Structure 1
């Protein structure tokens, strides 16, 4: 079966859907080829109970995610604020379980240390050009050391160092010893300042959710361009010449076009064959960009009982197995929902356990923080991303030492008629949905410019 289009888009995640819609608005004919049997990519909403959505994948937007707010309004998807009233529960460095006010009182000096390091990170990140991190004045030095090694050199107390690790792993979904300091600074720079990354309150990256779940966004986007989407079409080979591409899918589907936008994570893009082969530098890049490791576990209760106890549902713990949590209840639904995050090493370890053992360990953690009622959920749902064939990890790709400086310029640069788009290539809010929209628009506009200039 052969299809003809102006532009083939590989992947029906948020970047791919945005790219296709942008192309269509410019009068071009896009064709999205999606390997999975659904759209959305790293966005996935399921039901924990009938009518109660939980976001197994991307869940929040932040106050400065202007593209996502505009998109939600355009698609008619209402938003609501993340619940944040009450105290967070802490359990760090042998402290036992402490409520937020007690924790802050006991460890005020350690928290001041942490604030000092965060401000230093902001100052350093301001020197990193988000479109070309390898050109930062101190890029060579920053790229030669891991974020974890730099953290260890800051003279932090155990509590402050542990908090910094938990917050950073919550963003990157890998231990800090696996990413370069330059990559961390790039992430901070694309998102503004550390306060915007780490906060769930005003100004943070996790302030707002979508009614019906985040999956409403790709579902409604796809409905607008449904005739341009083919599911269950894993791309195996992209043949490319001066002005034409031929895309071969498993099962025999063939698509021909003038351009192709590969809108999947770099590591998955590297598993496609290209004829002729891509430059070695691009291939070497994709060999060095692993996706993060992330898992989410939801406990559903008859009511959000912790709120009456003055708690906001947020846990920060180095005992675990989860390092963080939050209240993921839905307005208009009486159930209480606690989401536990397992990221980096915790996700890698716990995903290999039988579900019963994993659930028991997480239940014990909730009981420590929320009390005995936490042992009696009505439902439990979890989801891990590295086992998913067409994702192989979440939330994003991470650069280890010397990757940005040696290979970074190959990340988003087109190769002939091949363009790249995923949140990993964004220069604003990379690794977030906002970044996915940014990347999709950038790639589509580049293609539109090329084709409007008379390229055939």
Structure 2
């Protein structure tokens, strides 16, 4: 079986679907090849109970996610605010404290956290998200890990633990695995300074989609119709200056003039290219592994913690979940209560390998410590681990380790002949978020449209 199009798009995640839509709007013909049996990539909504939509993948947009807000409006998808009223529960030194009690007990420690965040602000002002390797101190900052730098800041154990939890909450890897420059790139690309690392993730988690996030890729794919082909893992991309031939498992061969590979870098590196890609690009893909995260939704008959003056958020050193959110509907919806527990970085790797019963028992005990005995008895726990999914093999982020940016970063977005690169990891704005996926898809589409029109 063969197909032809002007632009072949590999991957029907948000970035690939946006690229295809832009190509079609420019009067060119796209063809989207998706390995999975569904569209959406790292967006996945499941209806665990009638009318209860759980976001096993991407869930929120923030106040400055203007591309996503416009896209939702265009597709007719309504937004509602993330519930945040009430106190957060903290467990950092063997005891559980809430809100004001925690800040009163550990005010000096939190001042240390604030000092480090402001220092990161000043350092990030030197870094360009488009060319971080060109920053004046790029070589120095890319040779040390975030963990090493934090350890040298004279922090108390409580402040150091808080920074570890909140940083891993953003990057989904331990701070010993990402360079200081890598963290600064993240701060710059997300456009909200070091406030992004605050316990509520700054302006990155303020609104959700009524009916579920998956409506976005589903409606984008519906508009593309038969131009989206599922169950077609790409095996090889043959490329000449003005021609590409894309071969899929199962026998489909697609031919076009340009190709947009809208996959996370490490997955893009698993495709065979003929002729082979330059070594710098291949070395980059070997150094950008997908991060580790597991989401666990504890479902109750009602959000009882709200009446107790709690916001459903926890910050925990012992874990297994290091952070949580109230993942229910607004107060007047009458829906069930849902607490979303995040296991990220080392916590996801360690507790994620436990037997499910052991992990869920530990989660129940943790929720009980923070939100009371009733929280230890959810009606249902639903888990989602992206590392187990064949066509993602990790979560929402990818982080090069030390020296990754200065040695290989220039290969992240640079086209190679007729090949352009998309996916949220390639975004200069809000990398790792849906907003970044849209930005990357639009940028890759512009690259091919400028050549072909």
Residue in 1 aligned with 2:412? 411
Q: State whether residues 367 and 375 of structure 1, in contact with CA within 8 Å, keep that contact through their aligned partners in structure 2.
A: yes
Q: Residues 296-335 of structure 1: matches in 2 within 5 Å?
A: 296-331=295-330, 332-335=333-336
The answer to whether the Cα contact below 8 Å between 2:167 and 2:197 also exists between their aligned partners in 1 is: no
Residues 183-222 of structure 1: matches in 2 within 5 Å?
183-192=182-191, 193-198=193-198, 200=200, 204-222=203-221
Q: Is the 8 A contact 2:6 2:257 kept in 1?
A: yes
- Whether the 8 Å CA contact 1:426–1:438 is kept in 2: the answer is yes
**Offset, 1:199:** 5.6
Cα displacement (A) at 1:420: 0.2
Aligned mates of 2:197, 2:16 — CA distance in 1: 25
Are residues 1:182 and 2:174 paired?
no
Aligned-residue offset at 1:48: 2.1
Distance 1:132 1:185, change over 3 A: same
| Aligned equivalent of 2:257 | 258
Q: Which residue of 2 aligns with 1:129?
A: 128
Q: Following the alignment from structure 1 to structure 2, what is the Cα–Cα distance between the partners of residues 411 and 16?
A: 16
Query: Retained in 2: the 8 A contact 1:10–1:264?
Result: yes
Matches within 5 A, 1:338-357: 338-357=339-358
Aligned to 2:205, what secondary structure does the other structure show?
Answer: coil
1:58 and 2:41 aligned: no
Aligned to 1:74: 74
Q: Is the 8 A contact 1:200 1:207 kept in 2?
A: no
Q: Which residue of structure 1 lines up, in the alignment, with residue 109 of structure 2?
A: 110
Matches of 2:89 and 2:307, distance apart in 1: 14
Aligned to 2:19: 19
Q: 2:299 and 2:48 mapped to 1: Cα distance?
A: 8
Query: What secondary structure is seen at the aligned counterpart in 2 of 1:225?
Result: helix
Q: Distance in 2 between matches of 1:349 and 1:114?
A: 27
Alpha carbons of structure 1 residues 449 and 300: separation in structure 2 relative to 1, 3 Å: same
Structure 1 residue 319 displacement after superposition: 1.2
1:90 is matched with 90
1:158 aligns with 2:157: yes
> Are 2:166 and 2:199, in contact at CA under 8 Å, matched by a contact in 1?
no
**Equivalent-residue separation in structure 2 for 1:79 and 1:88 (angstroms):** 24
Q: Give the Cα separation in 2 of the matches to 1:432 and 1:357.
A: 31
What residue in structure 2 maps to residue 433 of structure 1?
Answer: 434
Using the size of structure 1 for normalisation, the TM-score is 0.97
Which string of whole-angstrom CA distances, capped at 9 and with x for unpartnered residues, describes residues 126-165 of structure 1? 1101101000000000000001100100001011111101
> In structure 1, what is the equivalent of residue 294 of structure 2?
295
Cα distance in 2 for partners of 1:66, 1:431 equals 15
CA contact (8 A) 1:52 1:333 kept: no
CA distance in 2, matches of 1:316, 1:197: 13
Partners of 2:5 and 2:114 in 1: CA distance? 52
SS of 1:408 mapped into structure 2: helix
2:388 partner SS: coil
Q: Alpha-carbon deviations, 1:188-221, whole Å to 9, x = none?
A: 00112111453638x6111111111111111111
Residue 281 (structure 2) aligns with: 282
CA drift of 1:396 comes to 1.3
Does residue 1:447 correspond to 2:431, yes or no? no
Instruction: Describe the superposition over 1:62-118 as per-residue Cα deviations: whole angstroms up to 9, x where unpaired.
Output: 000000000010011100110000000000022x01011100000111111110100
Partner SS state of residue 194, structure 1: helix
Name the count of aligned residue pairs.
450
Distance 2:270 2:38 in 1: 20
Runs of 5+ consecutive residues of structure 2 not aligned to the other structure = none
Q: Does the 8 Å contact 1:261/1:418 carry over to 2?
A: yes
Q: Is the 8 A contact 1:315 1:323 kept in 2?
A: yes
Name the TM-score, length of structure 2 as normaliser.
Answer: 0.98
Q: Which residue of 2 aligns with 1:30?
A: 30
Looking at structure 1, the residues matched to 422 and 242 of structure 2 have their Cα atoms a distance apart, in angstroms, of: 19
